[in-house]
Amino acid sequence: MRIKVCGITKPDQLIQLDEMGVEFAGFIFYPKSPRYVFSQMTKEQLRKLKGKQINKVGVFVNTPAEEVLHMVDACGLYLVQLHGDESPKYCERISNYVTVVKAFRMREGENILWRAKDYQDVADMFLFDTEGAGYGGTGKKFNWKQLEGETVRKPFFLSGGIEPTDADLLKEFSTSSVAKDLFAVDINSKFEITPGIKDMAKVQAFVTAIKG
């Protein structure tokens, strides 16, 4: 199972994640986030920051398309995660240039695939997160059973309040029919000391439990 650690702000922590075998590191380009990447490093530093196998993901919220495309090149991003209210037409424009992950915030009882249907042909991947008051993470899980029995037909990231002790729950979820499209799990706030600073011991234990 692939792992994405989101909200990275420290270069040395990306290198540690790379050494652990984590496949994706998320950098948040939303200025209102406490994990805003440019509060801790410059574009030049981010562009030069590389591991042996880890891929840099830029997380954007309702950002002008021209700025997103500029940041892809300026920061050396491998994926773009669109976490706001971006339209299908907007997603299509970005996906013509770089791989796009469109995020959806899950509401209780919602048929998410109906909501996502207009993005099926314009996004490369989906991400399912928990509905909150704003665009940031809530630190809470949504009901994963909302996805069971569905056919996403698109590789997806599972996000939203995943905790260090959730490895067994994730392994159980991975046996459900919908998980044939599960691409990666996305972890963030439950693995932090403070916003943007990860507890690397917790991350390592989780990686070992998932991959070991």
Q: What backbone torsions phi and psi does residue 176 show, to the nearest 5 degrees?
A: -75, 160
Cα–Cα distance for residue pair 198/6, rounded to 1 Å = 10
Q: How does pLDDT run across 88-116, given as a tens digit for each residue? A: 999 999 999 999 999 998 877 778 788 89
Place of tokens 């959806």: 104
pLDDT at 133: 47
- Domain boundaries defined on the chain: 2-211
pLDDT at 137: 59
pLDDT at 141: 86
Q: Does domain 2-211 have CATH number 3.20.20.70?
A: yes
pLDDT at 126: 97
Q: How does pLDDT run across 3-31, given as a tens digit for each residue? A: 999 999 999 999 999 999 999 999 999 99
Average pLDDT, stretch 137-143? 74
Mean pLDDT over the full length of the chain = 93
Confidence at 132, pLDDT banded by 50, 70, 90:
low
Cα–Cα distance for residue pair 27/36, rounded to 1 Å = 8
pLDDT at 187: 97
pLDDT at 108: 78
Average pLDDT, stretch 55-78? 98
Place of tokens 């507890």: 199
pLDDT at 78: 97
pLDDT at 138: 59
How many angstroms from the chain centroid is the CA of residue 148? 20
Average pLDDT, stretch 155-174? 95
Burial 102-132 (b: 16+ CB within 10 A, else e): bbbbbeeeeebbeebeebeebbbbbbbbbee
Q: Supply the pTM of this predicted model.
A: 0.95
pLDDT at 1: 92
Say yes or no to pLDDT of 48 above 50. yes
Say yes or no to pLDDT of 46 above 70. yes
* Percentage of the chain exceeding pLDDT 90: 83
